[in-house]
Chain A
Amino acid sequence: MRTTRYAAAAMAAAAALTLSACGGGGESGGEGGGEGGGEAGGETVRIGIKFDQPGLGFDEGGSYTGFDVDVAKYVAGELGYTEDQIEWVESPSANRENMLANEQVDMIFATYSITDTRKETVDFAGPYFIAGQDLLVPADSDISGPEDLEGKNLCSVTGSTSATKIKEEYPGVNLVEQPGYAECVSVMASGAIDAVTTDDIILAGLAANAESGDFKVVGNTFSEERYGVGLTKGSELCSDINAAIEKMIEEGAWEEALQNNLEGVDYEPNAELNPPTPDDCA
């Protein structure tokens, strides 16, 4: 059952790629030839993603699925790389800046929020998605935002920014910190936890993959996380990547990737902010 869903997503992604290859082949050749051309042409591109984030970046055992992965594949295609030329590298949150600084990866698509602190050490293209901290609750729950959480049991990941924010701004909440979101969702299915919090799109990805339990993303975000493409400081890829993201959105492949990866979950991304317009490259 699950396999078919992934297969469908993978096929859709592949279709999107083929489309882009037809439409954009010549164009990207012209653009990429001048700037990033040295890397293309037989060379591989190393892309950092999450391996453990279902719906965004997930290692299916040799093949990779998720929205981040689909966007990365599209962008890489626009830069002139075929899918075979992509080398996927796991980049956990704590390692992302180091991996870019040491040039271990060429770009990172890993729910990587653009922040001023990070901009001091790395460059960003995008954003390609604007997420926000939100709540995942059982479908029949009447929790509609963080202010309803007083006295309720909320679960998040140990040391995450989402957990810190709740601790600071909503001290009346019983916050449980766990090593991973899967634990939170598993326990919420049995009713011992009332809500799980992190970025809305991550929650949607978790809900899409939960075997039991009917969950919904509340849709009342209380932060703005602008997911960008992490690049080594001084990288020249930024404007090409932005062009690729714009094209992906324009062609509808962006929307399609989102739908495919978050199928079956009661979730709509914040429509005022999405799809986003990439920032100007510095």
Chain B
Amino acid sequence: MEDYLSLLVEYDVLGAFWVNIQLTLWAGLWSFLLGTLLALMRISPIASLQWLGAAYVNVFRNTPLTIILAFGFLGLFGQLGFTLDEDLNVSLFRIAILGLAIYHAAFVCEAIRSGVNTVPLGQAEAARAIGLSFMPAARLVILPQAFRGAIAPLGNVLIALIKNSTVAAAGSVAIETSTVMKEMIEFRSDVIYPIFFTFAIGFVILVIPIGLLTTWASKKLAVAR
């Protein structure tokens, strides 16, 4: 037990989790914005945008995240010379955020579309009847209800995002939970169980409240029909 506690002093476990939380928050924000835009494109009257939205979702939803993150490094940074900060490691951290956001935006888009699914036809008909065109109807009538209906699936995307942020090691973010856990176990394989449970419980503590909160919110904010 003492051995195990001394490990916690030597390795910055909380710091590793903080890296994952940062990745999640930023990627969550960007994927939400991008995903909403994509959902709008997919329900818009403009065929080329519909096509672009659908193509985006089909490509990124079906590609393993590891490959997307590898392209962030090899393609964006390596070939296109894309940098997001003067400091190399900050830049690569942001590129990893971008990769996570690009992947999860496809799922945010689908979550919002499933939210649009919950909006009854009459709402759109009513919006049309009072003379609203597509954007005002979407902004004032459809999306506010759709977001409420999409809370539960959006919560699932956020949960997946937290867990998937561990894959960022493939996108050159080295000090996050999966790499730190691996190093700790390789260094002290005799306390492998406590090490694993420390990290596992950490994720349980992060994930379960989001699940409960989104379930509660989706019930509380559900549009009464």
Residues of A within 8 A of B (CB): 94, 153, 158-159, 174, 176-179, 183, 186-187, 190-193
Contacts of A94 in B (CB 8 A): 186
Distance between A88 CB and nearest chain B CB, rounded to angstroms: 26
Contacts of A153 in B (CB 8 A): 88
Q: Which of B73, B89, B170 contacts A187 (CB 8 A)?
A: B73
Contact between B74 and A183 (Cβ–Cβ < 8 Å)?
yes
Q: Which of A158, A176, A183, A186 contacts B92 (CB 8 A)?
A: A176
B 73-101 contacts with A by CB, 8 A: 73-74, 77-79, 81, 87-89, 92
Distance between A47 CB and nearest chain B CB, rounded to angstroms: 25
The verdict on A177 contacting B174 (CB below 8 Å), with A153-B88, A190-B81 known, is yes
Supply 8 A–B pairs (Cβ within 8 Å), ascending by A.
A94-B186, A158-B169, A158-B174, A158-B179, A177-B172, A179-B170, A183-B70, A187-B78
Residues of B within 8 A of A (CB): 70, 73-74, 77-79, 81, 87-89, 92, 169-170, 172, 174, 179, 182-183, 186
Contacts of B170 in A (CB 8 A): 179
CB-based closest 7 A-B pairs: A187-B78, A174-B88, A177-B174, A192-B78, A190-B78, A153-B88, A176-B172
Residue of B nearest to A176 (CB): B172
Distance of A153 Cα from B78 Cα, bound (Å): 12
Distance of A177 Cα from B168 Cα, bound (Å): 11
Distance between A259 CB and nearest chain B CB, rounded to angstroms: 31
Contacts of A186 in B (CB 8 A): 74, 78
Contact between A190 and B79 (Cβ–Cβ < 8 Å)?
yes
Distance of A257 Cα from B73 Cα, bound (Å): 35
Contacts of A158 in B (CB 8 A): 169, 174, 179
Distance of A116 Cα from B70 Cα, bound (Å): 36
Contacts of A193 in B (CB 8 A): 78
Distance between A281 CB and nearest chain B CB, rounded to angstroms: 29
Contact between A176 and B89 (Cβ–Cβ < 8 Å)?
yes
Contact between A183 and B182 (Cβ–Cβ < 8 Å)?
no
Distance of A193 Cα from B83 Cα, bound (Å): 12
Residue of B nearest to A174 (CB): B88
Contact between B172 and A159 (Cβ–Cβ < 8 Å)?
no
Distance between B215 CB and nearest chain A CB, rounded to angstroms: 37
Contact between A183 and B183 (Cβ–Cβ < 8 Å)?
no
Distance of A177 Cα from B182 Cα, bound (Å): 15
Contacts of B88 in A (CB 8 A): 153, 174, 176
Contacts of B81 in A (CB 8 A): 190-192
Residue of B nearest to A193 (CB): B78
Residue of B nearest to A155 (CB): B172
Distance between A51 CB and nearest chain B CB, rounded to angstroms: 20
Contact between B182 and A192 (Cβ–Cβ < 8 Å)?
no
Distance of A240 Cα from B206 Cα, bound (Å): 57
Distance between A155 CB and nearest chain B CB, rounded to angstroms: 9
Contacts of A159 in B (CB 8 A): 174, 179, 182-183
Distance of A190 Cα from B77 Cα, bound (Å): 10
Distance of A121 Cα from B115 Cα, bound (Å): 59
Contact between A178 and B172 (Cβ–Cβ < 8 Å)?
yes
Contacts of B89 in A (CB 8 A): 174, 176
Distance of A45 Cα from B172 Cα, bound (Å): 39
Contact between B77 and A187 (Cβ–Cβ < 8 Å)?
yes
Q: Which of B73, B79, B183, B186 contacts A178 (CB 8 A)?
A: B73
Of the listed residues A153, A190, A191, the one surrounded by the most CB atoms of chain B closer than 10 A to its CB is A190
